[in-house]
Chain A
Amino acid sequence: MNKPLQRRLKKFRVFYLMFLPVAAYFLIFTYYPFFRGLVMSFQENRLLGARPFNGLENYRFVIMEPNFLASVKNSIIIGVWDMGLYFAFALLLALILNEVARRTIKQSIQTIAYLPYLFSWAVIGGVWALIFDLQGLANKALSLFGVEPIFFLAAPSLARPLIIAMGVWRSMGYFALLFTVAIMAIDEQLFEAARIDGASRFNQITRIIIPSLGPTMKTIIVLLSIGVLTHFDEIYVMVNPANRRLISTLMLYIYETGILNFKTGTASAGATLVMIGTVAITALMRTLTSYDEG
């Protein structure tokens, strides 16, 4: 009975051989670190030597830690605002861009809006630092309205809005492009039919374009929800003593605790909690958008 399978396995042995490096990579660098992190979250903070298990001690510690709790709050505020604003601005941009009749203009604007998405957060940070400098473009623009110069990057009240705006500035064009691609895919006949029925352009937008974007909207919301608690790069780049308290996120907490301060147990417990949180947020978003029902 096993004969044919054995023969087939033998026939495809080159394939298994080709798959071997890939399998090895995933086992060593993806699966193993994941389980190792889980195990470490139940062990004492020790980088070298034997690590005695200490049950739920790390979890108990981390949920009482003020820094962790502050980063939970920051992560949720920044993550949720980012998700909502990325979505809203991208949709708006795609819709207004779609009303531009001339293709060259449309594509040029699209490219300009998309460009920052190519750049590293460090580059975006550099642009931001220049624009929001005391002598920068933003203050220059405000001075036209008679507003006194503001030191944006050190003002606590502006710390979160600036980080959120930075994300919108970088990502709006990318997500708008996803919407644009979906708008282009709408069947031209729908518009013909609407025109025959005498529907105005405005009605065509609200009755044809927006409903057709349903699936894309769902996909983007679910995509964005996965990232709500994992903001790291932009925080790593922009964090300074003046804004730390307000923008330090969970990922920064895990990085600083585990990698910089070698408290691997504490950091792993934090990471595990973030993982559970991410699964919960994603599940919630899937339910709210009835994503799995198509």
Chain B
Amino acid sequence: MARHLAKRDTLPLGVRIINSLLLVLVVLLMGLPMLNVLAVSLSTQAKSDTPGLVLWPSPSTVQGYTFIWNHVRFGGPFFNTVYVSLVGTVLHVLMASLAGYVLGEQRLPYRKALTTFVLLTMTIPYELTMIGIYAVNRDLRLTNTYAGLIINGMISGFSVLLMRNYFMAIPLSLAESARIDGASEIRIFRSIYLRLSVSGLMTIGTLELIRRWNNITMTVTLISDMKKWTLPVVLRYILFDQTSTSGTSYIFANAKMAAVVLTALPLVILYFFTQSFFSSGIMIGSIKE
């Protein structure tokens, strides 16, 4: 540490002070709103709707959380979203590794054509095919079903290519010797390639889980039945819809912010557990194709 500090030149003092002040400003602008949400979510009904800079609730209470969970029935969409996101992510990782493995096999006839077939899907922006996607899903009776939400996005060109790159980095000799020992292709795939690419699997898994948990566009395209909405769409409704009440009672700010925290918290937890995969995912995400 000390060595690192010594090695480095510094800016003039005045500039350094401005630099620090800017960083303090960044921390305040980013941190205060999040703290404020947390504080309001933990304050009482009455306190949460009165003015005042609340950064620490006193008295603190989980009233908002119990209200949103019991009266607004936030638990339903919460667990439905957990289900859709987890199943969708597992399938996504599985499909991406299958396709990535196939495209990583360098002697495969027509490998180039298949790769192009996958690459081209990345140039079709999903948002802009919304109407076509809706029509196809309606014909297949997938609208207003969780199966529809799971199937759409079950694979992406990005994940396939990422897995392909991971697999191609594994020396061919490993698979060759397993083949000589009489291992089947499926076996080689499972116990050599998958096992050696855990960080790749974790990377696409984490990115996909976040994408699915947060997805609004696909949900509002496919699901018109409010009872089947996923968390972000329900949250928007609770926050902004004029008619959003639980039966007859008004939803107070503390309960609204509790809903915000409940939607955000799983991702914060996920982030701290999978942080090491994030940097690799971010790097890969920005690599020039």
B1-39 CB mask vs A (1 if < 8 Å, else 0) is 100110011111001100100110011011111101100
Separation of A258 and B23 alpha carbons in the complex (Å): 45
Residue B166 CB within 8 A of the other chain: no
Shortest A53–chain B CB gap in Å is 16
> Which residues of chain A from 251 to 268 have any CB-CB distance to chain B below 8 Å in the complex?
251, 254-255, 258-259, 264, 267-268
- Among the stretches B58-66, B170-178, B196-204, B211-219, the one at the interface with A is B211-219
Closest to A128 in B: B33
CB of B247 within 8 A of chain A? Answer: no
**B 30-87 contacts with A by CB, 8 A:** 30-34, 36-37, 40, 50-53
Q: Smallest Cβ distance from A273 to chain B, in angstroms?
A: 10
Q: Is the CB of B236 within 8 A of A31?
A: no
Q: From residue B206, how far is it (CB to closest CB) to chain A in Å? A: 10
Contact partner, A131, options B33, B105, B160, Cβ 8 Å: B33
Chain A residues within an 8 Å CB radius of B117: 23, 26
Please give, as numbers and ranges, the residues of chain A lying within 8 Å of B22 by CB-CB distance. Answer: 96
Query: DSSP class of B's interface residues: helix, strand, loop or mixed?
Result: helix
Q: How far is the CA of A259 from the CA of B53 in the complex (A)?
A: 41
- By a CB distance below 8 angstroms, the chain A residues around B109 are 5, 8-9, 12
Q: Which of B99-147 contact A (CB under 8 A)?
A: 99, 101-102, 105, 107-109, 114, 117-118, 121, 124-125, 127-136, 140
Would you list 12 pairs from A and B whose C-beta atoms are within 8 A, ordered by A residue? A8-B107, A25-B95, A26-B118, A30-B121, A118-B268, A122-B232, A127-B33, A130-B40, A137-B53, A202-B12, A254-B128, A267-B130
Known: A123-B264, A173-B30, A240-B240. 12 other contacts (CB 8 A): A12-B105, A14-B186, A33-B132, A34-B132, A101-B10, A112-B26, A118-B271, A130-B40, A131-B33, A219-B288, A251-B130, A255-B220
* Chain A contacts to B: CB under 8 angstroms: 5, 8-9, 12, 14-16, 18-19, 21-23, 25-26, 28-38, 40, 93, 96-97, 99-101, 103, 109, 112-113, 115-116, 118-123, 125-127, 129-131, 135-137, 140, 169, 173-174, 177-178, 181, 191, 195, 200-202, 204, 215-216, 219-220, 223, 226, 230, 232-233, 236-238, 240, 251, 254-255, 258-259, 264, 267-268, 271-272, 274-275, 278
